[in-house]
Structure 1
Amino acid sequence: MGIWLGPEGIEVEAIVRGDRPCLRVTRTIGRERTLVAYCADVTEVGEYVDLAELVAAEPSEPSGAGRAQA
C-alpha cells in the first residue's frame, strides 16, 4: 500500500478497512498521532489536505518520518 506525506504532519495511507480499500488521513503533532478521516477516494482526501502538497514517502521511511513541512 502507499503512504503520502503532507504539510503540518498530515499522512495519507492506502489501507484495507474490513474488506474495502480506503485512504486513512492522520495528523501527527509532536508524538501524538490522531485520526482525521477515513476517505473512500482521493476527492474526499482533498477536503482535508491540498493534494498538490502530498509527496510519496520513501519505502524505507517508517510511518511518521520525513514529513513535509509547511
Structure 2
Amino acid sequence: MGIWLGPHGIEVEALVVNDRPCLRVTRLIGGERVLVADCADVREVGRHVDLAQLVMADSDERQRFGHVGA
C-alpha cells in the first residue's frame, strides 16, 4: 500500500483492517506513534490533517519530516 507524511509527525497509511480498506492516521508524540483515526476515505482523513501538506513517504521525506526510522 502507501504511506504519506505530514508535518508534526503525521503519518497516513493505506492498509486493510477487517477485510476493508482503511486510511490510518497516526501522529508521533514523544517518540511514540499514537492512533488519531482509522478513516474510510480521504474526506475523513481531511478532518484530521491538511491533505495539501501530505507527501509520499521515501527515506528523504521521512528524514525531512522527522519520522522515526528515517
- Runs (4+) of structure 1 moved beyond 4 Å? none
- The percentage of counterpart residues that share the same residue type is 70
Which structure's residues are more often helix, by fraction?
Answer: 2
- Unaligned runs of 5+ residues in structure 2 are none
TM-score (norm 1): 0.83
> Pairwise mapping of residues 2-41 of structure 1 onto structure 2 (< 5 A)?
2-41=2-41
User: Of the two structures, which has the highest relative contact order with CA contacts closer than 8 Å and spacing of 6 or more?
Assistant: 1
Name the structure 1 match of 2:65. 68
Cα deviation for residue 31 of structure 1 reads 1.3
Q: Give, as a single letter, the amino acid of the residue that structure 1 aligns with 2:56.
A: A
TM-score (norm 2): 0.83
RMSD: 1.4
